[in-house]
Amino acid sequence: GSGWPLAGTLLVAVAASLVAGGEDCLWYVDRNGSWHPGFDCEFLTFCCGTCHQRYCCRDPLRLLTERQQRHCLAF
């Protein structure tokens, strides 16, 4: 199969997150066990990073959705 359906799906997801912007970073615990409160990202930015380090950015390849963040909390 062609890679276009996957690329199209990714493009739609990225476009939706760019339009939504302001994606929140939920609270998290870093690798040292320190708790960090959640925070809001500015318009046209969104939560980026990993389960153990979060920040706001505009790079869609580093996007960490709220769903992914909640998944981090389960582990």
Helix boundaries (H) for the chain = 4-20, 66-73
* Model confidence pLDDT, tens digit, residues 29-64: 999 999 999 999 998 999 999 999 999 999 999 999
What pLDDT, on the 0 to 100 scale, is given for residue 7? 65
Query: Domain for residue 61, yes or no?
Result: yes
Query: Domain for residue 10, yes or no?
Result: no
Cβ neighbours, 10 Å, residue 73: 11
User: Which residue range(s) make up the domain with 29?
Assistant: 22-73
Cα torsion at 66, 74, 28, 61 (round to 10°)? Answer: -40
How many domains does the chain divide into?
1
pLDDT, greater one: 28 or 75? 28
Query: Domain for residue 53, yes or no?
Result: yes
What pLDDT, on the 0 to 100 scale, is given for residue 11? 61
Angle at 72 between CA 75 and CA 52, to 5 degrees: 105
Mean pLDDT of 61-71: 94
Query: Domain for residue 68, yes or no?
Result: yes
Query: Domain for residue 16, yes or no?
Result: no
What pLDDT, on the 0 to 100 scale, is given for residue 36? 97
